[in-house]
Amino acid sequence: MFSTQIIKLIEANAESLAHQVVADLLTNEHTPSYLRIPKEEATQRVFAFYKNLGKWIGDPNDDAIRAEYEKWGEIRCRQGIPVSEIAYSLIIRMKHLRRCIREYAFIGSASEQSASGEPLPLILYNVQELNYLIGDFSDRALYYILRGYEKQMKAEPR
- Cβ-Cβ contacts under 8 Å for 23 (sequence gap 6 or more): none
Q: In this predicted structure, what is the pLDDT of residue 148?
A: 97
Q: What domain range includes position 28?
A: 2-155
CATH of the domain at 96: 1.10.490.10
In which band, very low, low, confident or very high, does the pLDDT at 116 lie, cut at 50, 70 and 90? low
Distance CA 134, CA 39 (A): 25
Distance CA 113, CA 117 (A): 5
Residue 46 has pLDDT above 90, yes or no: yes
Q: In this predicted structure, what is the pLDDT of residue 103?
A: 80
Residue 108 has pLDDT above 60, yes or no: no
Q: How far is C-alpha 153 from the chain's CA centre?
A: 24
Summarize the confidence of residues 27-50 as an average pLDDT: 96
* Count of domains for the chain: 1
How far, in Å, are 45, 74, 107, 120, 157 from residue 154 at the CA level?
24, 10, 48, 51, 6
Distance CA 94, CA 90 (A): 6
Give this prediction's pTM. Answer: 0.84
In which band, very low, low, confident or very high, does the pLDDT at 1 lie, cut at 50, 70 and 90? low
Of 76, 44, 65, 80, whose CA–CA distance to 138 is shortest? 65
Distance CA 150, CA 9 (A): 35
Residue 109 has pLDDT above 60, yes or no: no
In which band, very low, low, confident or very high, does the pLDDT at 14 lie, cut at 50, 70 and 90? very high
